[in-house]
């Protein structure tokens, strides 16, 4: 009898060890999350394509660390995070396809790590669907392989909020504390002001519940990420207050301004909607935007019934504060501004979708699952359609910059050189020239400096066809290139010995 009892006990212990080893293996690699991240990476390379040239903002960030082109003017709102992110490639190579592949791989890996930060808070199937929902948005696919900050703020938000909730559930955990700090630092490294808006609910919750260690870690992460931006404010912008004021002015003045309709117009594939005029996109393109808050509310109800309200309420609160300044405090729109909000909404929305597809009523379950699948398929089709048109339009505009650069080379404007006027920053990058502006958001030179430069180097001014040039360039010979007028400064008169 004792032998039989011992045998049963041995078999039970073996099963427990097997289950434990299986759990550890599953914790090593989450297959569904890895599959979502891999599909996201492949989709970027196939749909966006590495041959897409650098855009205006990308040029500003990338030019700070390249050796083959002069650095473009770096305005007050920008942070150096993206420049440092691309430095491992851009510092030694001028290959845009190589940079695109690097960023696509890095963004896929980052998505996987960000979803893993939520393990234990939601089932893996919910995390996988949430990751797929965020990754399949055209704005996520388009900006994943680009040298832009907003996707990385979204990744930092997912990591920081997920690790914050896990640290609250397991006060003795240390890895989660590091995750909170790392996510906050990544956000502040990319866009310090966005980081503050995203983490505002976390800071309030940690303060109210007296989670002093969590509060300290979160503040330390934000400070570590923003320290360079703050130092630069005092070194080059006259102080932190002045830099914030300059940033607000460049963004049109922050204050009560309803930009909800602007964001809706930008969903049709407009990278920057400033000024944001014109017709609204097709309702099939915008319907998901109105569905998001409804599904988020349903996810909140599901969480309340399951007695896990906090893990759904906190990301929804962070998504709301992340979206607030871009919906109600700025006078223009860009779809990438809301990426952190979309990332945080994705997981509660996925939870709601699973609830709808697995309704307790067995009679209606197949119907509900079919409707959810049909809705997701239609949503994906709309996102891909917008993505294709956006990629096509941006590819052509960046080829125009490259063609203009070639024409400038034929006119004798070759590095080292200086361009001023319309689109001087992007065209200057493709030409290999510095760019200058005597007014506006990118003001970095004076007329006297431009004329002195023209005595030494090739200088050209660009206006739209038929546009009025500034006084200093009116007598320069004009050349029509596509829809641009290029005025090239006469070469300096050489005197004899």
> Concatenated DSSP letters for 255-271?
SSB--HHHHHHHTTT-S
Q: Give the pLDDT score at 214.
A: 95
Q: Is the confidence at residue 147, as pLDDT, over 60?
A: yes
CB atoms within 10 A of CB 99: 22
- In angstroms, the CA 179 to CA 217 distance is 10
pLDDT band at 494 (very low <50, low <70, confident <90, very high): low
**Residue 46 to residues 32, 42, 100, 356, 494: CA-CA distances in angstroms?**
21, 6, 12, 32, 53
Using DSSP, state whether 462 is helix, strand or coil.
strand
For the stretch 308-330, pLDDT in tens is 899 999 999 999 999 999 999 99
pTM given for the model: 0.92
- In angstroms, the CA 67 to CA 415 distance is 13
For the stretch 472-489, pLDDT in tens is 999 999 999 999 999 999
> Concatenated DSSP letters for 8-52?
HHHHHHHHHHHHHHHHHHHHH--HHHHHHHHHHHHHIIIII-TTP
- In angstroms, the CA 401 to CA 481 distance is 11
> Concatenated DSSP letters for 131-181?
HHHHHTSHHHHHHTTSS-SHHHHHHHHHHHHHHHHHHHH-TT-SHHHHHHH
For the stretch 234-274, pLDDT in tens is 999 999 999 999 999 988 888 888 999 999 999 999 988 88
Average pLDDT of the residues in 37-52:
97
User: Closest Cα to residue 405, out of 414, 392, 416, 396?
Assistant: 414
Is residue 152 within 8 A of residue 165, CB to CB? The reply is: no
**Residue 408 to residues 170, 202, 213, 326, 402: CA-CA distances in angstroms?**
62, 52, 58, 38, 10
For the stretch 130-139, pLDDT in tens is 999 999 999 9
Q: What does the DSSP 8-state code read for residue 472?
A: G
- Tokens 């117009």 label which residue? 265
Q: Is the confidence at residue 493, as pLDDT, over 70?
A: no
- Which stretches within 209-338 are classed as H helix? 212-236, 240-250, 260-266, 283-305, 310-328
Domain ranges of the chain: 32-148, 149-250, 253-357, 395-488
Q: Is the confidence at residue 23, as pLDDT, over 60?
A: no
pLDDT band at 75 (very low <50, low <70, confident <90, very high): very high
For the stretch 409-458, pLDDT in tens is 999 999 999 999 999 999 999 999 999 999 988 999 999 999 999 999 99
Using omega within 30 degrees of 0 as the cis cutoff, is the peptide bond preceding 416 cis? yes
Q: Give the pLDDT score at 360.
A: 67
Helices (H) and strands (E) in the chain, counts: 19, 5
For the stretch 96-116, pLDDT in tens is 999 999 999 999 999 999 999
Q: Is the confidence at residue 126, as pLDDT, over 70?
A: yes
For the beta sheet containing 484-488, the strands, ordered from the edge strand earlier in sequence to the opposite edge, are 434-436, 418-421, 459-464, 484-488, 478-481
Is residue 350 within 8 A of residue 126, CB to CB? The reply is: yes
**Residue 348 to residues 118, 134, 215, 440: CA-CA distances in angstroms?**
12, 12, 24, 42
Using omega within 30 degrees of 0 as the cis cutoff, is the peptide bond preceding 64 cis? no
């Amino acid at each position: 009898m004792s032998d039989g009892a011992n045998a049963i006990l041995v078999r039970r212990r073996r099963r427990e060890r097997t289950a434990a080893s299986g759990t550890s293996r599953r914790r090593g690699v989450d297959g569904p999350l890895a599959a979502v991240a891999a599909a996201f990476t492949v989709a970027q390379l196939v749909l966006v394509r590495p041959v897409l040239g650098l855009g205006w903002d990308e040029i500003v960030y990338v030019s700070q660390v390249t050796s083959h082109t002069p650095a473009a003017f770096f305005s007050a709102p920008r942070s150096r995070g993206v420049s440092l992110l691309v430095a491992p490639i851009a510092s030694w190579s001028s290959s845009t396809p190589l940079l695109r592949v690097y960023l696509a791989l890095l963004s896929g890996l980052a998505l996987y790590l960000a979803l893993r930060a939520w393990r234990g808070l939601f089932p893996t199937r919910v995390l996988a669907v949430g990751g797929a929902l965020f990754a399949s948005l055209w704005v996520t696919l388009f900006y994943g392989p680009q040298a832009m900050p907003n996707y990385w703020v979204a990744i930092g938000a997912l990591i920081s909020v997920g690790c914050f909730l896990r640290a609250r559930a397991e006060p003795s955990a240390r890895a989660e504390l590091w995750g909170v700090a790392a996510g906050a630092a990544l956000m502040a490294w990319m866009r310090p002001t966005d980081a503050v808006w995203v983490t505002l609910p976390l800071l309030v919750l940690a303060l109210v519940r007296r989670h002093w260690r969590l509060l300290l870690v979160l503040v330390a992460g934000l400070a570590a990420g923003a320290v360079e931006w703050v130092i630069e404010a005092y070194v080059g912008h006259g102080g932190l207050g002045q830099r914030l004021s300059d940033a607000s002015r460049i963004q049109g003045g922050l204050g009560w301004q309803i930009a909800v309709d602007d964001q809706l117009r930008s969903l049709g594939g407009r990278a920057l909607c400033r000024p944001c005029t014109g017709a609204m996109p097709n309702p099939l393109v915008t319907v998901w935007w109105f569905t998001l808050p409804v599904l988020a509310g349903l996810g909140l109800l599901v969480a309340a019934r399951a007695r896990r309200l906090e893990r759904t309420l906190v990301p929804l609160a962070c998504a709301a504060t992340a979206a607030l300044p871009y919906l109600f405090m700025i006078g223009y729109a860009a779809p990438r501004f809301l990426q952190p909000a979309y990332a945080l909404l994705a997981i509660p929305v996925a939870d709601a979708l699973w609830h709808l597809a697995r309704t307790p009523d067995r009679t209606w379950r197949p119907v509900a699952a079919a409707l959810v699948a049909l809705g997701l398929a239609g949503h994906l089709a709309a996102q891909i359609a917008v993505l294709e048109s956006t990629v096509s339009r941006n590819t052509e505009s960046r080829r125009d910059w490259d063609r203009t650069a070639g024409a400038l080379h034929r006119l004798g404007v070759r590095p080292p050189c200086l361009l001023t006027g319309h689109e001087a920053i992007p065209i200057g990058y493709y030409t290999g020239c510095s760019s200058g502006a005597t007014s506006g958001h990118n003001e970095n030179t004076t007329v006297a400096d431009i004329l002195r430069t023209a005595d030494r180097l090739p200088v050209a001014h660009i206006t739209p066809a038929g546009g009025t040039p500034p006084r200093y360039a009116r007598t320069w010979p004009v050349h029509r290139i596509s829809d641009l007028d290029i005025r090239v400064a006469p070469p300096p008169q050489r005197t004899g010995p």
